[in-house]
């Protein structure tokens, strides 16, 4: 009995269905290498250990902390074979995994903000002792809005007029 021939696309689809069934979500720990952001929207990097490398992809908005080559991280994602027959991991979340990585991420963020001039003493303004206005930007149905309204009642000595939009 000879197997029925299938197209390359059908084969890749079968492999991806098998991967999605067997491994709908994986958590992998390794060292970042070849980190780059493409077109300000897409993040590409390799995750490696001493023997192997896995290519990773994610969107920039999902990346909640700064990472760079050499950092040890833990990623959660879905394995996939791309249309170019390259094995890749579509990453949903990233967390730091190594000793000292949190400090390193904070230093990266601090350098970035310094480069933007956000720590420049000339930019600093004194805060008023008693603010005359407070703004809350949130959904009118959110818990934050309800908490704000509840805590700004006449019983608390403060009254704010708010209108959800």
Mind listing the pLDDT tens digit for each residue in 118-164?
Answer: 888 888 888 888 877 777 888 888 888 888 877 765 554 555 555 55
Q: Verify that 51 and 87 share a domain, yes or no.
A: yes
Q: Is residue 1 part of a domain?
A: no
What does pTM read for this prediction? Answer: 0.60
CB 56 within 8 A of CB 89: yes
Do 109 and 162 belong to one domain?
A: no
pLDDT grade for 99, boundaries at 50, 70 and 90: low
- pLDDT, mean of residues 100-108: 76
140 and 111 in a common domain: no
Range of the domain at 153: 135-165
How many Å apart are CA 55 and CA 34, to the nearest integer? 9
Q: Does residue 60 share a domain with residue 24?
A: yes
Q: Which residues contact 8 (CB under 8 A, 6 or more apart)?
A: 85
Residues 97 and 73 sit within 8 Å (Cβ to Cβ) = yes
| Residue 2 confidence (pLDDT) | 83
Q: Output the six-digit token pair for 24.
A: 């709908």
In the predicted structure, residue 71 carries a pLDDT above the cut 70: yes
- Total count of domains within the chain: 2
User: Quick check: is 165 in a domain?
Assistant: yes
Q: 125 in a domain, yes or no?
A: no
Rounded Cα–Cα distance for residues 110 and 119 (Å): 9
Please indicate, yes or no, whether residues 108 and 161 belong to a single structural domain of this protein.
no
Tokens of 94: 């990233």
Residue 77's pLDDT is 95
Residue 130 lies in a domain: no
Nearest by Cα to 90 from 101, 98, 82 = 82
Q: Using an 8 Å Cβ cutoff, are 55 and 32 in contact? A: no
Q: What is the mean pLDDT of residues 90-102?
A: 83
pLDDT at 3: 85
Query: Which pLDDT tens digit goes with each residue over 24-67?
Result: 999 999 999 999 999 989 999 999 988 999 999 999 999 988 88
Task: Clarify whether residues 31 and 61 are in a common domain.
Answer: yes
DSSP H or E run through 35: strand 26-38
Cα–Cα dist 22/40, whole Å: 33
Look at residue 44 and tell me if it is in a domain: yes
Q: Under a CB-based contact definition with an 8 Å cutoff, are residues 148 and 161 in contact?
A: no
């Amino acid at each position: 009995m000879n197997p029925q021939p299938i197209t390359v696309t059908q084969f890749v689809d079968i492999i991806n269905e098998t991967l999605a069934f067997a491994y709908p979500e994986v958590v992998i720990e390794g060292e970042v290498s070849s980190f780059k952001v493409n077109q300000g929207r897409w993040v590409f990097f390799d995750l490696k250990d001493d023997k192997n490398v896995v290519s990773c992809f994610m969107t920039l908005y999902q990346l909640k902390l700064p990472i760079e080559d050499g950092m040890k991280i833990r990623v959660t994602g879905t394995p996939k074979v791309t249309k170019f027959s390259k094995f890749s991991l579509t990453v949903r979340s990233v967390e730091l995994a190594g000793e000292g990585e949190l400090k390193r991420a904070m230093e990266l963020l601090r350098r970035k903000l310094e480069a933007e001039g956000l720590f420049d003493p000339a930019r600093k303004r004194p805060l008023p002792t008693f603010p005359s206005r407070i703004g809350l930007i949130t959904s009118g149905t959110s818990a934050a809005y309800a908490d704000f309204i509840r805590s700004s009642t006449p019983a608390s000595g403060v009254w704010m007029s708010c209108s959800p939009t």
